[in-house]
Amino acid sequence: MRNRLLLGAFLAALALGPLVLPEFTITLLNYIGLYAMVALGLVLLTGVGGLTSFGQAAFVGIGAYTTAYLTTVHGVSPWLTLPAALAITAAVALFLGFITLRMGGHYLPLGTIAWGISLYFLFGNVDFLGGYTGITGIPALSLLGLEVKSGREFYYLIWAMLLLLVLTTRNLLDSREGRAIRALKGGSLMAEAMGVNTPRAKIIVFTVAALYACLSGWLYAHLQRFVNPTPFSLSQGIEFLFMVVVGGAGHVWGAILGAGVITILKQWLQDWLPRLLGQSGNFEVIVFGLLMILVLHRAREGLWPLLLRLFPAQATRPRVAEAEPLARRTLPDNGSVLLEVNNATKRFGGLVANDDMSLTVRAGEVMALIGPNGAGKTTMFNAISGISPVSSGEVRFLGERVEGLTARDIARRGMSRTFQHVRLLPAMSVLENVAIGAHLRGRRNFLHAACRTERKEEACLLHEAALQIERCGLAEHMYEAAGSLPLGKQRIVEIARALAADPCLLLLDEPAAGLRYLEKKALGELLRRLRHEGMGILLVEHDMDFVMGLADRVVVMEFGQKLAEGLPEEVQRNPAVLEAYLGGVDEHDGY
Amino acid sequence: MDLQIVLLLGQDGITSGAIYALLALALVLVFAVTRVIFIPQGEFVAFGALTLSSLQAGKLPGTLWLLIGLGAAVAFADISWALRHHKMRRVPLILFYNCGVPILLAGYLLAVSPATLPQPVQVALTLAMVVPIGAMIYRLAYQPIAEASVLMLLIVSVAVHVALIGLGLLFFGAEGSRTTPFTDMSFQIGDAVLQGQTVLVVVASLVLIVALYFYFERTIYGKALRATAMNRTGARLMGISANLAGRLSFMLAALIGAFSGVLIAPITTIYYDSGFLIGLKGFVGAIIGGLASYPIAAAGAILVGLLESFSSFYASAFKEVIVFTLIIPVLLWRSLTSRHVEEEE
């Protein structure tokens, strides 16, 4: 409630500001608003998506130069140049994203540095863009027949657009696609296994960030009424990143805070430093650089979270609304073969991690894959789920060969998994983490999310996530941050997330590790119920009591090979297994 | 275009290519050992060149004050660490290296008139001032967050770069400068003239590359760096300090940078911010080598040098555009041929 009041006060101050503030302050606020738009895109890209770009100023330049050129040379109406500028920006961003985003995370920033530099020199050397002197005489904007000419009038336009962008950005993040984007930071492995097309998600955030920058540039050109290359140089691109890091890369309001702090600080330092040092020059960059290092060392999340600490939010209890259940997949007949692995071999260089492995899993059974540490069980899991494909051999899922498919295509066919090393997004709530599992069960995209026309589907997805959480016995933790749960419970969250995908085959990698006795018993109950419903379960586990009490069949692996296969009691009597695996009972008390 | 121009441009291109190759090697080294993308590499080129030219002009270079300031900050950080860990015996050494040596250097420079010193001594003094700055920057800016993601370290790099640019302006002013040539020899090959200075740059670069090769192959510190580059955790388990490896690699990068600066200072006018573009061209070379392969990075850097010199002949206004657009086909090629394996961040 109090935070609502603060927000209201902020908006009221924004609305009334121009009536009382002097011209100079209005100009400053206009620039803060324009910079904040660019910074907002960077929040999405850097703070949320875990990518970054130093070339945002170049996108601002595209927005400004497109409208400057079209309005002055061809007399096009400014409102028609906006879609043109956005289209050019989108094309460039898609291309740059396509060539850099498939590689390691640092190729995008390096690519954007190079692109920022070459675009700057291009602006400065192309004759029809006016060279380094630039283009003058850009017409003013007119809105509903009124000319938006003065700084005060522009102020309302800039801040209205900025607040609209903040709103749509928040909407976007609080949605199915938003969760997919937020999942990028946790590494693409988990997101892909949940069916998220991670290259697409990365390209979307990069393009959206570029479009925000372009809009800012378009406004800038009509505010200034002239453009030259200087404000679109790489150093300005770096300054945008500073704003975001200082303000708080993970928060939409951090963009506005950062833009404000850096812009005002710059103004102030440009006044004072030359006097202090007795020379003229851009010495504020020294302070910015040091400030940035300090922030990254001491307050990596930026200033916004520090500010929030002064106004702690009251604990509100969100509630998941009732919604229609999602459509479920028809499960294959009980006893039919779901998964068939034939002669699968996986090599890492000279190391053979899986050697000629074969196994089957049927609907309505629990198949346990056991073996000492390093036997190749997790490698087998990764091969089956498409994370790291087999070197030779075949994997059939529901009769179809899937060894060449990506993890997300396999997920789409009804296979879902958990990870041995828990891969949750620690800062997100349990509910949101589990909802990532239901990603493939929704289809509304980010445009729907930005305009909030996907609320019905979103409610269904969250409702489904809540059902799975309750089913796994974690209802009381639903709104807690996933990272605050003990490790054993985090494993159960992983199972709930896998179940939210409505799979017919569930791959569980050591689900009972770290669980207490009663929790283990509850987990066993849950898996029995799933089996009864007709799901196939492939289980890797070290807890022999747990495995032997639950599994219908067991495959034993050692040194990447299959050592034995059969009913639990057969395997337990198998001399080779006893010799190689259970043989050293004395040394292996732990099992 | 006749043969003479081709020879001239080729000469130019290979000279700058040799410098870019040195810088590319330093970038690959630093990235492999510390995962830092060392954007400020170019600033060491400018600092090397401008420090030497300050000495030749008989002025005390600003880098000296930077060395003393950073040394004091490092001493403060290291001593407070030593106090917390009850390692008081280290304090005298920390003080000697970080405060004593810079002050001795300052005392020496104040006592003699640097402009009258023989050129090799000036070069040695320049390196003595600039090279330790590399290790100090690692200690202060990177070591406290050495485990952070590549992205975070990259942002720190950009912050260091920006701060050093500002300091460069403060120390050396906005005017560019050149240093006295090391040699005024020239050779006549057919119609073309081969400048002795050009030969010197190429030969010195080669010597440095060979020296680095022996350093990595034959010395225990070189091997420790290679081990860290191959497997950080493994190297640490073998008792190789990650902090030491980091400081060492930054010191080498600073050495390579400052040395390159000294080499090109007589040929090109260097401004306080010239280093950035020079460093980035080394980067384009390093990226051609995928930030992993030394020979490919060096070859890529030579290619960048040649491309630059030929494009400055045909379309001088678009020289930078052409060089930095080269990165696009390179990235495209790399992204289509390499299968990216996810790193755990």
Helix (H, G, I), strand (E, B) or coil at A278: coil
Same domain, A248 and A292: yes
Mean pLDDT of A479-491: 89
Same domain, A125 and A140: yes
Q: Would you say A382 and A540 are in contact if contact means Cβ atoms under 8 Å apart?
A: no
Residue B277 Cα, gap to closest chain A Cα (Å): 9
Q: Would you say A578 and A391 are in contact if contact means Cβ atoms under 8 Å apart?
A: no
Q: Which residues of B touch A125 (CB under 8 A)?
A: 317-318, 321
Inter-chain CB proximity A114 and B284 less than 8 Å: yes
Same domain, A347 and A373: yes
Q: Would you say A193 and A388 are in contact if contact means Cβ atoms under 8 Å apart?
A: no
Kindly state the helix (H) or strand (E) to which residue A554 belongs, with its residue range: strand A553-558
Range in A462-466, A564-568, A583-587 the model is least confident about: A583-587
Of B145, B166, B331, the CB nearest to A289: B166
Residue A348 confidence (pLDDT) above 70: yes
Q: Would you say A369 and A359 are in contact if contact means Cβ atoms under 8 Å apart?
A: yes
pLDDT, tens only, A390-433:
889 999 999 899 988 989 999 999 999 999 888 999 888 999 99
**Which is more confident, A387 or B157?**
B157
Is residue A320 a part of any domain in this protein? Answer: no
Q: Is A102 on the interface with B (CB under 8 A)?
A: yes
d(CA A477, CA A386): 31
Of B166, B321, B338, the CB nearest to A121: B321
Inter-chain CB proximity A289 and B174 less than 8 Å: no
pLDDT, tens only, A151-166:
888 899 999 999 999 9
Two tokens, residue A339: 């998964």
Is residue A299 a part of any domain in this protein? Answer: yes
pLDDT, tens only, A323-332:
788 888 888 8
Using the structure block, give the residue that is written with the tokens 């007949």: A333
Same domain, A116 and A150: yes
Is residue B210 a part of any domain in this protein? Answer: yes
Q: Which residues of B touch A117 (CB under 8 A)?
A: 277, 280, 320, 324
pLDDT bin (cut points 50, 70, 90) of residue A317 is: low
d(CA B271, CA B278): 11
A 140-199 residues inside an 8 A Cβ radius of B? 187-189
**Which is more confident, A315 or A53?**
A53
**Last residue within a domain, chosen from A450, A468, A500:** A500
pLDDT bin (cut points 50, 70, 90) of residue A18 is: confident
Is residue A13 a part of any domain in this protein? Answer: no
pLDDT at A444: 85
CB contact set of A34 (below 8 Å; sequence gap of 6+): A158, A216, A219, A220, A223
pLDDT bin (cut points 50, 70, 90) of residue B71 is: very high
Kindly state the helix (H) or strand (E) to which residue A86 belongs, with its residue range: helix A78-100
Which of A233, A245, A183 minimizes the C-alpha distance to A46?
A245
**Which is more confident, B34 or A108?**
B34
Give the pairing of strands A337-348 and A392-397: antiparallel
pLDDT, tens only, A214-262:
999 999 999 999 999 989 998 899 999 999 999 988 889 999 999 999 9
d(CA A359, CA A342): 7
Is residue B319 a part of any domain in this protein? Answer: no
Q: Is A279 on the interface with B (CB under 8 A)?
A: yes
pLDDT at B1: 63
Report chain B's mean pLDDT, rounded to a whole number. 87
Q: Is A348 on the interface with B (CB under 8 A)?
A: no
pLDDT, tens only, A543-561:
888 888 899 999 998 888 8
Inter-chain CB proximity A115 and B155 less than 8 Å: no
Pairs across A and B, CB distance < 8 A:
143
Q: What is the extent of the structural domain holding A302?
A: 19-310
pLDDT bin (cut points 50, 70, 90) of residue A584 is: low
Same domain, A450 and A561: no
Torsion of CA A215, A52, A200, A443, to 10 degrees: -70
* Amino acid at position A222, single letter: H
Kindly state the helix (H) or strand (E) to which residue A74 belongs, with its residue range: none
d(CA A43, CA B157): 19
Inter-chain CB proximity B163 and A104 less than 8 Å: no
Same domain, A106 and A186: yes
**Last residue within a domain, chosen from A500, A524, A542:** A500
Mean pLDDT of B49-64: 93
d(CA A258, CA A243): 4
Number of domains composing chain A: 3
Q: What is the extent of the structural domain holding B54?
A: 38-274
Residue B336 confidence (pLDDT) above 80: no
Burial class (CB in 10 A: 0-12, 13-18, 19+), A39: buried
**Last residue within a domain, chosen from A500, A517, A533:** A500
Is residue A324 a part of any domain in this protein? Answer: no
Of A100, A285, A300, the CB nearest to B335: A100
Assembly ipTM: 0.89
Cα A273–Cα A276–Cα A279 angle in degrees, nearest 5: 75
Two tokens, residue A269: 């330092």
Is residue A237 a part of any domain in this protein? Answer: yes
Is residue A12 a part of any domain in this protein? Answer: no
pLDDT at B345: 34
Same domain, A52 and A179: yes
Q: Would you say A260 and B143 are in contact if contact means Cβ atoms under 8 Å apart?
A: no
pLDDT at B199: 86
* Torsion A111-A114-A116-A118 (CA) sign: negative
Mean pLDDT of B242-261: 93
pLDDT, tens only, B155-199:
999 999 999 999 999 999 988 888 888 877 888 777 777 788 888
Beta bridge partners of A561: A558
Same domain, A244 and A95: yes
pLDDT, tens only, A275-294:
888 888 888 899 999 999 99
DSSP code of residue B342? P
CB contact set of A27 (below 8 Å; sequence gap of 6+): A151
Same domain, A396 and A535: yes
Residue A2 confidence (pLDDT) above 80: no
Is residue B124 a part of any domain in this protein? Answer: yes
Of A117, A238, A242, the CB nearest to B320: A117
Same domain, A187 and A101: yes
Same domain, A538 and A484: no
Is residue B181 a part of any domain in this protein? Answer: yes
Helix (H, G, I), strand (E, B) or coil at A362: strand
Mean pLDDT of B255-277: 92
Is residue B174 a part of any domain in this protein? Answer: yes
Is residue B294 a part of any domain in this protein? Answer: no
Residue A99 Cα, gap to closest chain B Cα (Å): 5
Is residue B80 a part of any domain in this protein? Answer: yes
Which of B131, B32, B29, B132 minimizes the C-alpha distance to B73?
B132
Number of domains composing chain B: 1
pLDDT at B344: 37
Residue B156 Cα, gap to closest chain A Cα (Å): 6
Same domain, A523 and A476: no
**pLDDT-above-70 percentage for chain A:** 96
Give the pairing of strands A400-401 and A505-509: unpaired
- Nearest residue on chain B to A245, alpha-carbon basis: B155
**pLDDT-above-90 percentage for chain A:** 39
Is residue B4 a part of any domain in this protein? Answer: no
